[in-house]
A and B are shown apart, each in its own frame.
Chain A
Amino acid sequence: MINTLLNANQDVLGLNWRNQKIIRQENPSSAKQLADDKLRLKKKLGKYDIPTPTLFKIVKRKEQIPHIDWESMPKSFVLKPNKGTGGQGIVVFYGKKKGALEWIRPDMSTMTKEQIENHISDILDGRYSMGGRKDTAFFEERIINHPVLKPYSYKGIPDVRIIVYNGVPIMAELRLPTRESRGTANLHAGGIGVGIDMATGITTVAIHRKGFDLIGDRYDIIEETLDEPKLPLRGLKVPYWNKIMEMSIRCQKLSGAGFLGVDIAIDRIQGPVVFEINARPGLAIQLANMAGLRERIERVKRLKVKTVTRGIKIAKTLFGGVIEEEVESLTGKQVIGMVEKVTCLPAPKIEPEEEIETAPAVSADTSTEKTTPTLKPKTKKRHRKKRRKGAPEKEIIKAKIDTGALHSSIDRKLAFRLGYKELREVSELFETPPEGLNEARKHIIPYKEKAEDLKQIDNFTIIKSGNGVSIRPIIEVETIISGEQKTIRFTVSDRSDLIYPAIIGRRDLKDFIIDPSKTFVLSSLIKKDESKS
């Protein structure tokens, strides 16, 4: 029980920690002011070429209201309070009544010019602003729903909320408007929140607010949209995912906030546009992703993220793979990319060497040396030196996942480093390859016979490739791919001129699912960053 409570405190970001340790410490008041002032934000984003909905008109004073040129207003637009919160006071107009100064709302009701003027007056009076302070009203372009997201949203614009911390997008959710939320994407109002896998931009878990609950907003996990047509919410690929991540990082940098929620909508023509930024983003996003924000914050806290591209790479490496985990749990197969990190373990020793025999003796020595501690360090040092010099070590390499090849192949120098020393005995195979298939068939016979005497070489095979015909030794290497230990039968060739020291062919890929979009980032690079900072 206590363990659960302590673990929860380390993983889940609660309101207290968010307010005290994150917002108060990492978000300066200038950043909060910018987030609360939509017009100032629009101007600033424009300076940095970050797209936002086009601004039509600003109304600052009541005296300006009678002078608004309604005839020149477009058919569809959005009226917003500058400092409004939670979508309050925002009115969307989809069209205009023919021959009248009357605009149509998403629920097909209309608002006359006079009614809109009254609404503007309310905004200016501060009815929708924080603390009831005087406000400014403005008209802006209406975003047109992207065709991919349109069927999932009920009469409103869905948006992507990305939480960015220290230049890294750490969590994201797709927010979908519903009939219950009256077309707003706000989860609190009854919208749907769908978690997004950071690596792929594919939706994962979906949540929707439970009915009346005295304790607070609690959420149910749902599988389908609430309104017709009922569509599955998992597995939807968010368009422009990389662009969205890039924009969110740029927004965080220009805002000066350390911890920021960026709301990005996807327009049918313009693509992603920033709706607004939030210096105090809500925490329900954790449920939509079934992951704690605090744990993610801790992971990127000490990183030095210099570029936007690096921030995206880190996000994909550290917080991606939710979809893969789901596929893996369903199929029992690991998901790998086109290039994978492969750990090759050293070759098993042919004969027990002296070292092994002496090993227990050394340990025995150390046990007896308990009474004579001065001898202990010397023995240990010698032992370490011996191991470094003699025994081959494991090699971590980048291997190409090649579904076009049947056999897996490894570079001979790498194989030698791994301890396959018997390859020396057939070194002529790499230097003078046979001139044709017939010659290769003749030559291979003595090698096959020889293979019976060799312990490290399993067999020999003839390989036809773009470079001609070759006879290659086959060795069995213990490898670890994506956490799976597997014995792979590699053909050995000279790959010193090629990019990858090994390729994994079809025969050895039966236990894996290949995802071409999976990016390969060596975690050692991130570790290096951590250690530097």
Chain B
Amino acid sequence: MIIITNPNTLILNLPIIVTFIASIRYIIGFKTWELFTVLSLILSYYLLNSFIGTLWLTTLIWLALIFIILSIPYLTHQALLKFKMHYYGRMSLVYFGTLIGLILTIPFFKLLQNESLFNQIYHSQTGVIALILIALNTTALIDLQYKKDRVGTIRLIFFTLIISLLLGWLITWNSWNSLIAKNQEIVLIVLLLGFITANWTYLRLTDFARFKQLINKTDD
């Protein structure tokens, strides 16, 4: 069933990926960072893939860019924790760290010895937006430091990267995109999954692991 002719599959994929993120959270129990963070990381993967083309190389470069761009502001923030200063003042300094992170991506591409890729990304609006989308997560990363402890932070970052990567693969997978372009009713099926997820009140799969001792005791 075709509702829109020649649709941009990115638009069709948008509700699908959000439904998947919700299902993973409420049915399986793996939490991600804020929704914006996941969506921005998926989109940055999508944009980078449009330049790189191969799955494994896109994944490698995407992960490396996230590490370079976000680790510098994180370290800046950690260094500034020793000094008592105003919150927003500190955040402005942290964003200088983000700028350094973005600049450090240049030697990374030099290291890859792929001049054309460097030119494509740095001399096109799309490429720069991909980098900025990653850099915009600085605030979320710093806020995470205040909201969660170290274990919670690592857990959230891990699942955010894994889920973003899986969904990034999905929306750049040609067979999937042609499938949803030709069978647009898939969106309706996903809508149904969305309704189920929105009203899901059973235990999450991770709850079974969390309350294992209690469940075993009750079962006895």
Chain A residue with Cβ nearest B202: A9
Q: Are B201 and A17 in contact (CB under 8 A)?
A: yes
| CB atoms of B210 and A215 under 8 A apart | yes
Shortest CB distance B31–A (Å): 8
Interface of B is mostly: helix
Confirm or deny: A11 has a beta carbon within 8 angstroms of a beta carbon on chain B: yes
Contact of A20 among B199, B209, B214 (CB under 8 A): B199
Of chain B, the residue at the smallest CB distance from A115 is: B84
* Residue in A11, A114, A122, A216 whose beta carbon sits within 8 Å of that of B87 in the complex: A122
Task: Tell whether A216 pairs with B86 under 8 Å between CB atoms, given A12-B203, A14-B204, A16-B203.
Answer: no
Determine whether A266 belongs to the interface, using a CB cutoff of 8 Å to chain B: no
Q: Which residue of A lies closest to B154 (CB)?
A: A212
> Could you give, for residues 133-174 of chain B, a 1 whenever the CB lies within 8 Å of some chain A CB and a 0 otherwise?
000000000010011010110110011000000000000000
Least Cβ–Cβ distance between A93 and chain B, in angstroms? 16
Whether B217 sits at the interface, judged by CB under 8 Å, is yes
Does chain A have a CB within 8 A of B29?
yes
- How many angstroms between the C-alpha atoms of A207 and B154 in the bound complex? 23
Given the known interface contacts A12-B203, A16-B200, the answer about A127 and B219 at a Cβ–Cβ threshold of 8 Å is: no
Tell me, yes or no, whether B185 is within 8 Å of chain A by CB: no
Chain A residue nearest in CB terms to B212: A218
**CB-nearest residue of chain A to B199:** A20
Contact of A215 among B203, B209, B214 (CB under 8 A): B209
Q: How far is the CA of A122 from the CA of B87 in the complex (A)?
A: 6
Q: Given A7-B218, A14-B203, check contact A216 B210 (CB 8 Å).
A: yes
Using CB atoms, name the residue of chain B closest to A3: B219
Do A216 and B209 touch (CB < 8 A)? yes
Contact of A11 among B84, B210, B218 (CB under 8 A): B218
CB of A188 closer than 8 Å to a CB of B: yes
Q: How far is the CB of A190 from chain B (nearest CB, A)?
A: 8
Is A125's beta carbon under 8 Å from chain B? yes
Q: How far is the CA of A86 from the CA of B218 in the complex (A)?
A: 30
A121 at the interface (CB under 8 A from B): yes
Among B167-220, those with CB < 8 Å from A are 199-204, 206-215, 217-219
A221 touches B213 (CB 8 A): yes
* A-B CB contacts (within 8 Å), total count: 100
Residues A7 and B219 in contact, CB atoms below 8 Å apart: yes
Quick check: A122 and B143 within 8 Å, CB to CB? Answer: no
B83-136 at interface with A (beta carbon < 8 Å): 84-88
| Contact status of A8 and B215, CB under 8 A, knowing A188-B149, A189-B149 | yes
CB atoms of B87 and A287 under 8 A apart = no
Distance A114 CA – B200 CA, assembled complex (angstroms): 50
**A301–B211 alpha-carbon span in the complex (Å):** 23
Q: Are A287 and B213 CB-contacts (below 8 A) given A125-B88, A127-B87?
A: yes
User: Distance (Å) between the CB of A127 and the closest chain B CB?
Assistant: 4
User: 1/0 per residue A94-135: CB within 8 Å of B?
Assistant: 000000000000000000001100110110011110001000
The smallest C-beta distance from A205 to any residue of chain B, in angstroms, reads: 9
Residues of chain A within 8 A (CB-CB) of B74 are none
Partner of B84, one of A5, A119, A214: A119
- CB proximity of A324 to chain B, nearest CB, Å: 17
Bound Cα distance from A86 to B147, whole angstroms: 8
Contact B149–A121 (Cβ < 8 Å) = no
CB nearest to A291 among chain B residues: B214
Q: Is the CB of B207 within 8 A of A12?
A: yes
Which of B85, B154, B204, B207 has a CB less than 8 Å from the CB of A118? Answer: B85
Q: Tell me, yes or no, whether A292 is within 8 Å of chain B by CB.
A: yes
Residues of A within 8 A of B207 (CB): 12, 14-15
B46: A residues at CB distance < 8 A: none
Partner of B218 from A12, A122, A128 at Cβ < 8 Å: A12
Assess whether B62 is interfacial by the CB under 8 Å rule: no
Known: A8-B218, A17-B201, A20-B199. A127 touches B210 (CB 8 A): no
User: B204 and A16: CB pair below 8 A?
Assistant: yes
The chain B residue with its CB closest to the CB of A122 is: B87
B45 touches A (CB below 8 Å): no
Q: Given the complex, which residues of A lie within 8 Å of B210, measured CB to CB?
A: 215-218
Is A88 interfacial (CB-CB < 8 Å)? yes
- Indicate if the CB atoms of A216 and B215 lie closer than 8 Å: no
CA distance A213 to B149 in the complex (A): 13
List chain B positions with a Cβ less than 8 A from chain A: 26, 29, 84-88, 143, 146-147, 149, 151-152, 154-155, 158-159, 199-204, 206-215, 217-219
A-B residue pairs in contact (CB < 8 Å), sample of 14: A12-B214, A12-B215, A20-B199, A85-B147, A115-B84, A127-B146, A212-B154, A213-B151, A215-B29, A215-B209, A216-B29, A286-B211, A290-B214, A292-B214
**Residues of chain A at the chain B interface (Cβ within 8 Å):** 4-5, 7-9, 11-12, 14-17, 20-21, 85-86, 88, 114-115, 118-119, 121-122, 125-128, 132, 188-189, 212-218, 221, 286-287, 290-292
Kindly list 20 other residue pairs between chains A and B, CB separation below 8 angstroms, not including A8-B211, A8-B215, A214-B159. Answer: A4-B215, A7-B219, A11-B214, A12-B207, A12-B214, A12-B218, A16-B204, A17-B203, A88-B146, A118-B84, A121-B86, A126-B87, A188-B149, A212-B151, A216-B29, A216-B210, A218-B210, A221-B213, A286-B211, A290-B217
